[in-house]
Structure 1
Amino acid sequence: MKKYNFGAGPSILPQEVMKATAEACIEFQDMGLSLMEISHRTPEFQAVMDEAQALFKELLNIPEGYSVLFVGGGASLEFCMVPFNMLEKKAAYLNTGVWAKKAMKEAKLFGEVIEVASSADANYTFIPKNYDIPADADYFHITTNNTIYGTELHEDLDSPVPLVADMSSDIFSRPIDVSKYGMIYGGAQKNLSMAGVTFVIVKDELLGKVSRSIPTMLDYRTHVDKGSMFNTPPVVPIFCAVQTLKWIKSQGGVKEMERRAQERAELLYGEIDRNKMFQGTVTAKEDRSLMNICFVMADEYKELEKDFLKFATEKGMSGIKGHRSVGGFRASCYNAMPIEGVKALVACMQEYEKMHA
């Protein structure tokens, strides 16, 4: 039986990416050694790092004056590193979910944090709008896609201060104007690679402005100066990221990834809205995520939630259980999800409707 991986992360990767990574872990570039055991200082791995940075810049059209870094610790460490490096007096945050809230918590250790808006009272079922960004803030932080609640910012914001974005779960899913951002960061295990590496795109001129001393490993300048090679980087996840970036390029680039994301979302949201057994969880349809499509059983069918999950899982729909704070179901449709997977889920929902509605 064909299985489709709708897991929120670590998540689906293209088959050719996994195959190339697995082969490199057995033997890398005819060296007679595994990628897992060679020195990161070898010319062979330096070429991998160089290619990763070059492909990032090419696919996202990153302008001059920005550095691309590959570090450890996940986005959760970036919640600390961003204010450590950039918060001198106060920073502004848009509270759109659990991860934004966690980022705010870390920032409060370094200075004043202004919550410009929040949708917490509505369980984060929409993206706040019509708020003011303090012009004297050191930066404004957003989370562009909220995996738990299924909301997403679909356009690049205009900000009077440096814009910092956690793009862990929607990077490379649409073209972005990097020049509008001071920093973009994220864990790689959604749209880019296996778990274990964090990407950072940072505008160089924003670094070195705070008055505090920063530990060496937590100072972005360390990683800029050493090309992400200050210490041993996560070599296998970086190699895996290169394979994914090459795959994106071969498929038509980020614009094609956006087209596919819209096609998948239109199909699945269309079924959610049509099928009387299900309903979407995001109250503002314009804020619906293309990456994490969340839905629940309609009120009159609530008692069938566990049964549908069992039914869908047996049909090969893997990882569709919703986050505990929302319940219901979550179909994560990252770049590597083929349209056939979404069609299979829609067919599953329609079959279940015929059985019970």
Structure 2
Amino acid sequence: MSVPTTAPRSRRAADRPSRRLPDAVHDGARTYRLVRAWPRGTEHALVELAAEDGATVAGQWFADPAALASGAAATPAPARVAGDVLLQPGGADARLRALGGVLAEDGARLVAHRPGRRAVVRLDAPDGTVREFAKVVRGSRASDLARRGSLVAELVGGAVPVPRLLDTGEVGRGVLRWSVVPGRTLHDLGAGRWEPEAARTAWEAAGRAVRHLHDAPRGRVTARHGATDELGAVADWLHPAVVHGLLDARLVARAGERVAAELDAGAGDSALGVLHRDLHDKQLLLDDAGTVGMIDVDTLAVGERALDVANLLVHLELREAQGVLTPGLAAAARDGFLSGVGAGELPHSRVAAYARATRLRLAGVYAFRPRWRSVAQELLAQAAG
């Protein structure tokens, strides 16, 4: 196995876009800074931008002016073009046509929007409490997401609170309405500087929740995610980051070779479980009773338990590097999680291999977030070292 992080030598010049993803977009007198981007290949990216007053807007960057013009022509108002970016405020979206109707409902607030892919809308009750969350996706994806969401609720039973599908009547048009999982995310609680013992207790409960998912019956989960699939996910981020000059190509290649070798060395069917696959502190919520719930299980699959464990551990390293967690809190969280999830039963080499892969993937992810590019460089150096 290998990580295809760069194009072949003969294709590199053609592969490099004539225009680069900008860190700032000027829309008349207003300037938006790039918060983060999701590359769709090397000449197109979904973006989240923020103005000086904190207002955010979704959009799409195109290297090709013709593709930008075509996207703008297809997208309803109030979308508009600013430089090489199609700004899509207010949920304007050519492919998520149901989004406008959901946003028109009482108490609706747009929480997240990746144009053409997905949007999350919070719907509040008259008293200000959250009534439900509506996820709007392309109609072709909705049925599978509904099935996965309902399946995970059945697999974990009442032991781990997860969103439950409230209504199937709108699935055909890409609207999925989900119940609210109570509590605050472990990310937000960590940023509040809680005490180490409280952090350890909470993260041990988180570990038990994850272990419950891992131990769920695997027979009903059709998706599989192995080492080769993980290498593909890493490459999806690294190749665009290299092409846009955000990460050093030689260091990426060296890290990619090491990650591929380590994942390949122990790939097998040991310690399998039902995986979350995108497990981090923003996906885990702690309620007042100390119960940990789980959200966004869109990527449910059977694979090595070490993948989820490593992904979570590296995110704790990341939060420490970002200043969200102090070293003491990060250590307490790590100890608690490892105890709760039963990490001692997992091959250390597999956790280490997936941890290196996660550092490399996150280097690609955070290279597309200007505020955290120095952290991305640190992650890359760790993956290559």
TM-score by length of 1: 0.26
Tell me which of the two structures has the higher relative contact order, counting C-alpha pairs closer than 8 angstroms and 6 or more residues apart. Answer: 1
Bigger helix share: 2
TM-score by length of 2: 0.25
